[in-house]
Amino acid sequence: MLKVVSPTQAAAALTELWSPRVIGEVDEAYLKVAKVHGSLAWHSHEEEDELFLVLKGHLRIELEEGSVELSEGELFVVPKGVRHNPVAEQECHLLLIERKSTLHTGTVVTDKTRTLAEQLRPL
C-alpha cells in the first residue's frame, strides 16, 4: 500500500531511545527513524555504509580519528568498516539510511542493540 510518511513526525512519536524503526525501503536499503540521547556504542559495519540525517537536535559521531558534529538538516555517511559511536547530549531525532543487511550495532551487542524484527515493529 502506498502512503506518505513524515520522518519528523515518526521520529517524534517514538517512545524508546536508541530503538530505530523502519518507515520505508528503497531497493536494498531501509529508511529508519530514531530518537536518541546519550551514547550508543563503539561499533562498525564491515560491509555497509550508514547515513545519519539529523531531523531535530544535534548529534556527534565519534570516530577513531576525531568526531563529526551534525546539526538539524545535516547529514554524514559513515563509510563501511569505520568504527564510530553516535552521541547526543540532548534528545536528537534521526533519519538513518542503511542497507537491509546492516546490524544495528554491528558485531557489538549491548542492552541498546535492537534486532531487525524489533526495528520492523509498527510505530
Q: Supply the DSSP string of 60-111, one letter for each residue.
A: EEEETTEEEEEETT-EEEEPTT--EEEEEEEEEEEEEEEETT--TTTT---T
Which is more confidently placed, 27 or 116?
A: 27
pLDDT in tens, 35-67: 999 999 999 999 999 999 999 999 999 999 999
pLDDT above 70 coverage of the chain, percent:
99
Give the Å distances, CA to CA, from 118 to 24, 25, 103, 112: 15, 16, 12, 12
For the segment(s) 7-119, the CATH number from 2.120.10.30, 3.90.180.10, 2.60.120.10, 1.10.760.10 is 2.60.120.10
Residue 1: pLDDT band (50, 70, 90) is low
DSSP for residue 43:
B
**Lookup: cell for 59:** 548529534
Total-model pTM:
0.93
Give the Å distances, CA to CA, from 66 to 24, 94, 106: 32, 21, 20
pLDDT in tens, 94-107: 999 999 999 888 88
